Amino acid sequence: MLAAAGCAPRGQLTVVDAAPVGATEVRLHTVTSRNLAEDGLPGAGRADRLSYHKVGILLPPERDVGELRWGGTGRIDPNRHITASRVQPLDGTAGFQRSLRDDLRRTGTREREVLVFVHGYNTNFAEATARFAQMMHDMRLPAVPVLFSWPSQARALGYVYDRDSVLISRDRLRQLLLEVRAAGADRILLAAHSMGAQLVMETLVQADLAQPGAAARLADSVVLISPDISVDVFLSQLSQISRIPQSLIVFTSAEDQALRLSTLVAGNSPRLGKPSTDPRLDDTGAIFLDVTAFNDRAHGDFGHLTVGTSPALIAMVPQLRDAARALGSGASSHPGPLAETLLTIRSAADTALTGAQ
């Protein structure tokens, strides 16, 4: 795994003057606790305050669904590789909230929903931004996107550094969620991948310990994708939260090679992102969705981000959302259009996964 990862070019945001014909631009806000490098882009070091940007990611015309392709240094082809139309710094909290309010107004929907995404271990700023943009576009997710990028060292052997960065970033993620709510978001769906799930859960615990009920106010729904969290730690975290968000969805996969390695590093402590028969999880209120059958090794993610890279699974999401919209629940307590999209998968999962096999 380490050898294969080392052969692939790492992501870098190259701003181009003009988008290639057929490219798709995805605009999103990025908020980061990384330091700023000499070129003004977020680096790998830790900062003591948040930085805000509006980024335009250009998905090239020559791209498969679920695919990200990076060019090496000096070999960028905008027709094949990920590039950017802009990386625009915003003027602190005030500038970020003004820009976010504008995006929320443009949605034209009754409910103004924001998806805050937290990336995982061994991920640099460019990779996190592009992956989020690709998932938003390919899955046609109905929300305003905001990326929270914590200071991952983006090195295969930087696991301990990244784990420490997660603990350092809890206050910053909480600050961001409060700022998003204050900007006028009616609903916040908080999604995280891999080690980012640990950051999300620790943030919710810390907030709730300081003020009971705060976790459910920070986010309306939480989605954990291949969470690199010990099952024991997850159960302990939930026990410290007085009221969990309205929906808590966990994507798992038995083919997740990255979590297999993480399990060994953690002394064979079972990870939440692997399917489990632990009866203690049955009473957590979480919804577990096993996407093992959709694992697509052709995209080189080692089964660690199947929900974002599998063309078959990605194709399901808009269809399921359209079906859910056609049926219509009419419930006053529904968790919002984006969470409903993922919750709909629950009822279709057994049939869909069996068919995929």
Q: How far is 60 from 70, CA to CA, in rounded Å?
A: 11
The dihedrals phi and psi of 248, each to the nearest 5 degrees, come to -130, 110
> How many secondary structure helices (H) and strands (E) does the chain include?
12, 9
3-state secondary structure of 289: strand
Phi-psi region of 30 (alpha: psi -120 to 50; beta: other; left: phi over 0): beta
* Tokens 């009473």 -> residue: 283
Sheet-wide strand order for 42-59: 83-89, 42-59, 24-36, 144-149, 113-118, 187-193, 221-225, 247-252, 287-290
Structure tokens at 240: 């410290």
CA distance 204 to 201: 5
CA 242 to chain centroid, in Å, comes to: 24
In the chain the first and final C-alpha atoms are separated, in Å, by 25
Q: What is the pLDDT of residue 305?
A: 85
What pLDDT does 207 receive?
97
**Integer Cα distance of 349 and 354 in angstroms:** 8
Q: Give the span between the Cα atoms of 297 and 84, in whole angstroms.
A: 27
**Residue whose tokens read 């099952």:** 231
Crossing angle, helix 311-327 and helix 337-356, to 10 degrees? 130
Residues for the chain: how many in total? 357
Structure tokens at 199: 């950051």
Domains and CATH numbers, the chain: 2-311 (3.40.50)
Query: In the chain, which ranges are continuous DSSP H helix?
Result: 2-7, 92-106, 125-138, 159-168, 170-182, 195-210, 214-218, 231-239, 257-265, 306-309, 311-327, 337-356
What is the distance between the alpha carbons of residues 260 and 228, in angstroms, rounded to a whole number?
10
Report the alpha-carbon angle 294-300-304, nearest 5.
55
Please give the C-alpha separations between residue 79 and each of 60, 85, 131, 182, 303, in angstroms, as whole numbers: 5, 13, 17, 39, 27
Task: Determine the pLDDT at residue 330.
Answer: 42
Cα→Cα distances 184→106, 113, 180, Å: 13, 9, 7
Q: Which residues of 32-66 are buried (b: 16+ CB within 10 A; e: fewer)?
A: bbbeeeeeebbbbebeeebbbbbbbbbbbeebebb
Q: What is the pLDDT of residue 2?
A: 47
Cα 242 to Cα 231: distance, rounded to the nearest angstrom = 19
Q: How many CA atoms lie within 13 A of 218 on its CB side?
A: 30
Task: Give pLDDT, residue 74.
Answer: 67
One pLDDT digit (tens) per residue for the chain, 357 residues: 444 444 567 899 999 999 999 999 999 999 999 999 988 899 999 999 999 999 999 999 989 999 999 987 668 899 999 999 999 999 999 999 999 999 999 987 777 999 999 999 999 999 999 999 999 999 888 899 999 999 999 998 899 999 999 999 999 999 999 999 999 999 999 999 999 999 999 999 999 999 999 999 999 999 999 999 999 999 999 999 999 998 899 999 998 888 888 777 777 789 999 999 999 999 998 989 888 888 766 555 677 888 888 887 787 766 655 555 554 444 444 556 556 656 555 554 444 444 444
pTM of the model: 0.89
CA 102 distance to own-chain centroid:
22
Quote the pLDDT of residue 35.
97
